Amino acid sequence: MLYFALEYRRAIDRLTGDQASGLRAYELGNEEWELVKQVTDVLKVYKHATLRFLRGTPSLPSVIPAMDHIDDVLTTQSLDTKYLPAICAACALSKKTLNRYYEKTDVSKTYRIAMMLHPRHKLQYFRNRTWPEEWIIEVHALLRSEFDENYASIPVPDDFAEVQRVTQPKPEVRTIITATLFNAIDFAFTRIRMAMSMVK
């Protein structure tokens, strides 16, 4: 809606500026149009996140990185002097609301376990985000505890080791396959982002 308003600003100005239309109360001044433009800009991060999750089935390991990315963007925007004070304040409030939802991920251990089991993230993601080391140790202990409580006692078939030896690729091959897969995914998302920016 905001994109539409900006694209058709001249028509909207003429329509609301015409006294005969009875819409003068809705006429926007230059500062209000600047607000519309800036709000459109700061909402892009939410639009991109929404479209990314709508493209396919969202996975648990994608939730925390998405929230971290939005938080980073909002932090930058709330301090950016190119935005009007009202926009900076709105970004700061939005960040505060986002953090309340982020804290909800602590209620369920599933998010952190999913991050550690994801071949691309593991514990390194938390280190890259400069989590305190005691938090990282706690996350690792959480996964260990979950395994010990629910999976360690499950008997392993006698022939499993032989099946695993025959069917699994060598570690170096597995690493190459995993890296290639995630590089392809990153490349695809980059192309999509580029295409979306060209559409705008």
The 10s digit of each residue's pLDDT in 28-73 is 778 888 888 888 888 889 888 888 888 777 788 888 888 999 999 9
Q: Average pLDDT, whole number, for the chain?
A: 78
Lowest mean pLDDT among 16-20, 71-75, 93-97: 16-20
SS3 category, 18: coil
- Asked whether 98 and 135 are in contact (CB, 8 A), the reply is no
The confidence score (pLDDT) of residue 173 equals: 47
Evaluate whether 173 touches 179 at the Cβ level (below 8 Å): no
Residue 79, pLDDT score: 92
Closest CA to 146 of 108, 94, 182, 92: 108
Q: Record the pTM.
A: 0.65
Q: Is the pLDDT of residue 148 over 80?
A: yes
109-133 core/surface letters (b: 16 or more CB in 10 A; e: else): eebbbbbbebeebebebbeeeeeee
pLDDT-derived band at 93 (thresholds 50, 70, 90) equals very high
Torsion of CA 48, 51, 53, 56, to 10 degrees: -140
Nearest in space to 108 (alpha carbons), one of 47, 161, 144, 60: 60
